[in-house]
Amino acid sequence: MAMPRVTLAGTGGEAVALDDLGSRRTVIYLYPMTGRPGVATPDGWDEIPGARGCTTEACDFRDHHRDLLSAGASGVFGLSSQDTDYQREAVERLHLPFPMLADPDLLLARALNLPTFEAGGMRLYKRLTLIVRDGGIEHVFYPVFPPNEHAGQVLAWLRETAH
């Protein structure tokens, strides 16, 4: 399936065209939202299946980042509907070695009919991961569980399918 022509803002100030990421595999993990210290999560957050675990998932991708690149990924991006400023705080606080992409208008969700849900008056992505290569979607991980082990699952897949 072709990756749609969607360009999103990254936390490093770059504009990232998702359909033009190159010939090597790029990992894009989509997640609902990262929490921020001192800011309450939406009411009922812990009862929403799959909502909890965004920070631990980001840390898992951080901890596996070098291995993912060694296994053939050209890069890793986190993607949510949160704005760039919110994501930038998470990148800095969690010491993430990769950028986050902001999709507050859910452009990718609309283009690919991706699953979302509503919480606290916000429309959020359900957790999933896309492996993008040569302008197409090579593989989709969905559902993602448990989030704190997901980067290891992606790493295993990259190693198993290395060309």
In Å, what is the CA distance from 40 to each residue of 37, 45, 47, 144? 8, 10, 15, 24
If you ran DSSP here, which 8-state letter would residue 157 be given? Answer: H
List phi, psi (to 5°) of 105: -95, 5
Could you tell me the CA-to-CA distances from 37 to 19, 51, 85, 162 in Å, in that order?
34, 17, 15, 39
Residue 40 · residue 126 · CB < 8 Å = no
Distance from the first to the final alpha carbon of the chain: 20
User: What is the reported pLDDT for 37?
Assistant: 87
Would the pLDDT of 107 be above 90? yes
Sign of the alpha-carbon torsion through 125, 130, 133, 135: negative
Whether residue 2 contacts residue 19, with contact meaning beta carbons closer than 8 Å, is answered with yes
- 54 in any annotated domain: yes
- pLDDT, one tens digit per residue, over 121-162 is 999 999 999 999 999 999 999 999 999 999 999 999 999 999
In a domain, 58, yes or no: yes
- CATH number, domain with residue 153: 3.40.30.10
The answer to whether 82 touches 102, Cβ cutoff 8 Å, is: yes
Q: How confident is the model at residue 1 (pLDDT cuts 50, 70, 90)?
A: very high
**Domain total in the chain:** 1
Q: Is residue 40 part of a domain?
A: yes
pLDDT digits (tens, 9 = 90+) for 74-105: 999 999 999 999 999 999 999 999 999 999 99
HSE value, Cβ hemisphere, 13 Å, CA-based, for 142: 16
Q: Which domain holds residue 78?
A: 7-160
Hunting for tokens 């897949």 — which residue is that? 157
Residue closest to 82 by CA, chosen among 109, 100, 57, 56: 100
pLDDT of residue 38: 87
Question: 89: which residues sit within 8 A by CB, 6+ positions away?
Answer: 36
Q: Is 145 within a domain?
A: yes
Whole-number pLDDT of residue 36: 85
Quote the pTM value.
0.96
pLDDT tens-digit series, residues 108-124: 999 999 999 999 999 99
Q: Is residue 2 part of a domain?
A: no
- What pLDDT was estimated at residue 80? 98
Q: Is residue 99 part of a domain?
A: yes
